C-alpha cells in the first residue's frame, strides 16, 4: 500500500470529517478539487454535527486508492431537504475511490448507503425526477 495515500485518507477522516476542520481540505486535495470537496463536505457536517467516521479498509496502488468507511452521526441540520430530526444513524457504509497527484486527492468518486441512512433516521427517500 502507498503510505502517503493512507495518511491523506486518515487525515481526511480524522481532521476534516470527525474534527470539522474544513481548512485542512486545501492540504489534502488539489486546488481544482478542493472547492468541490468543500461544497460537499461543509453541508454534510452542518447536517450531522457530530460525525463519527472510521476507516475500515484501504487498498492502494500507484496513484489510486479505494477506501471503505463506516459513518455515524446525529441529524442536526437540514439534509436532502429533510429538516433536522435529532435522530442518529450508525455504521452506514461508504466506499470511495481516489486518484492522487503529488500526494493530494485529484479525483474522488464514491458510493454511500444513503438508503440505510434515511431508514435509520426514519425519513422517506427523496425522489428527484431525472433531468
Grid coordinates 463536505 are at which residue?
41
The CATH number assigned to the domain holding 56 equals: 3.10.450.50
Residue 20 lies in a domain: yes
53: three-class secondary structure by DSSP: strand
- pLDDT tens per residue across span 28-78: 999 999 999 999 999 999 999 899 999 999 999 999 999 999 999 999 999
- For residue 121, which of 70, 48, 54 has the smallest C-alpha distance? 48
Task: Look at the chain and report how many structural domains it folds into.
Answer: 1
Cα–Cα distance measured from residue 51 to residue 124, given in angstroms and rounded to the nearest whole number? 21
Residue 38 lies in a domain: yes
- pLDDT tens per residue across span 68-109: 999 999 999 999 999 999 999 999 999 999 999 999 999 999
Residue 19 lies in a domain: yes
Residue 48 lies in a domain: yes
Residue 129 lies in a domain: no
66: three-class secondary structure by DSSP: strand
| Global confidence as pTM | 0.91
- pLDDT tens per residue across span 19-35: 999 999 999 999 999 99
Cα–Cα distance measured from residue 107 to residue 76, given in angstroms and rounded to the nearest whole number? 29
Residue 12 lies in a domain: yes
Amino acid at each position: 500500500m502507498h503510505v502517503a495515500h493512507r495518511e491523506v485518507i486518515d487525515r481526511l477522516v480524522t481532521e476534516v470529517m470527525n474534527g470539522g476542520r474544513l481548512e485542512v481540505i486545501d492540504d489534502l486535495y488539489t486546488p481544482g478539487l478542493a472547492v468541490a470537496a468543500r461544497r460537499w463536505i461543509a453541508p454534510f457536517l452542518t447536517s450531522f454535527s457530530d460525525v463519527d467516521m472510521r476507516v475500515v479498509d484501504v487498498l492502494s496502488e500507484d496513484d489510486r486508492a479505494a477506501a471503505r468507511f463506516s459513518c455515524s452521526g446525529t441529524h442536526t441540520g437540514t439534509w436532502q431537504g429533510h429538516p433536522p430530526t435529532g435522530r442518529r444513524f450508525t455504521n452506514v457504509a461508504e466506499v470511495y475511490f481516489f486518484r492522487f497527484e503529488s500526494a493530494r486527492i485529484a479525483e474522488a468518486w464514491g458510493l454511500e448507503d444513503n438508503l440505510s441512512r434515511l431508514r435509520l433516521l426514519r425519513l422517506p427517500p427523496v425522489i428527484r425526477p431525472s433531468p
